[in-house]
Amino acid sequence: MTLVPHGQPPRYFTFPGLGALGVVNATTTRHFPGLAGWRSESPFSPPAAAALRDAGLDPARVAWARQVHGAGVARVADRGGFAGEADVLVTTARGVPLAIFTADCLAVVACAPAAGALAAAHVGWRGTVAGAAQAAVAAVTAAGARPADVSVAVGPSIGPCCYEVDGPVHERFAAAYGRRAGRWFAPSRPGHWRLDLWAANEDLLAEAGVARDRIENPRLCTACHPQLLFSYRKGNHGRLATLAALA
């Protein structure tokens, strides 16, 4: 599983697995021009809009939301635009790019092109506890797909190599998922653990019915690549965007 870079230095990556399914997609880097992050007016400046067009995405129809670290779902019509407060966007409209903004959290794209359904989710540790990835799969299946036909891609995000959490986070996972959550944590120092959000969400997606060989996760850590990606934990407070649209 890998990402294909576009430009030098890369302005964005694409997932070949999504592309093979007919899903136009782009995940931006810190070299992408004019990206402001979410806001109720357009988060894409004219240079950003031009770069999106180069990637085959229509900036006039992009849908985005105010992300609140939950699992709320917003349904997106063919006009796109600001979808309100939500961490999961879902559409059956072709050509409408769904945009998720991250700076360490996972961007999870779930699609079933044969059923004409696409979802994108913002998933940090709170979203993992809340079930945002599972909500994305449920949104796609509610549109007519079978879980076994859903394919998923996971954008660059902080890895277990760099993501240390404390007792309250550990307790929230235990409360949500019981003893099985223990396999996602590795002790680092007293009262702290390394959290593997990749493994956690891959497991949870599998439990939701997604075949593991349909989960495309390049495991590219934002904190390990400050020259290429933004990482909140590393003090780089810009935003990355993952966009996907049904062709």
144-161: per-residue pLDDT in tens?
A: 999 999 999 999 999 999
pLDDT over 80 at 36, yes or no = no
- Averaged pLDDT, 95-109: 97
Shortest CA distance to 231 belongs to which of 110, 105, 109, 100? 105
pLDDT over 60 at 53, yes or no = yes
pLDDT over 80 at 40, yes or no = no
pLDDT over 90 at 90, yes or no = yes
pLDDT over 70 at 37, yes or no = no
Taking only the tens place, the pLDDT of each residue in 229-238 is 999 998 887 8
pLDDT over 60 at 122, yes or no = yes
The dihedral over CA atoms of 73, 77, 83, 87, expressed in degrees to the nearest 10, equals 30
Residue 137 binned pLDDT confidence (cut-offs 50, 70, 90): very high
Sort 115 into a burial class: Cβ within 10 Å, 0-12 / 13-18 / 19+: middle
CA angle, 203 then 120 then 170, to 5°: 40
pLDDT over 80 at 125, yes or no = yes
Q: What are the distances in angstroms from CA 5 to CA 8, 99, 241, 247?
A: 8, 19, 15, 20
Residue 219: left (phi > 0), alpha (psi -120 to 50), or beta? left
Residue 38 binned pLDDT confidence (cut-offs 50, 70, 90): low
Per CATH, the architecture of 4-246 is what? 4-Layer Sandwich (3.60)
Percentage of the chain surpassing pLDDT 70?
97
- Averaged pLDDT, 165-193: 98
Percentage of the chain surpassing pLDDT 90?
91
- Averaged pLDDT, 124-136: 98
pLDDT over 90 at 35, yes or no = no
How many Cα atoms sit within 13 Å of 39 on the Cβ side?
9
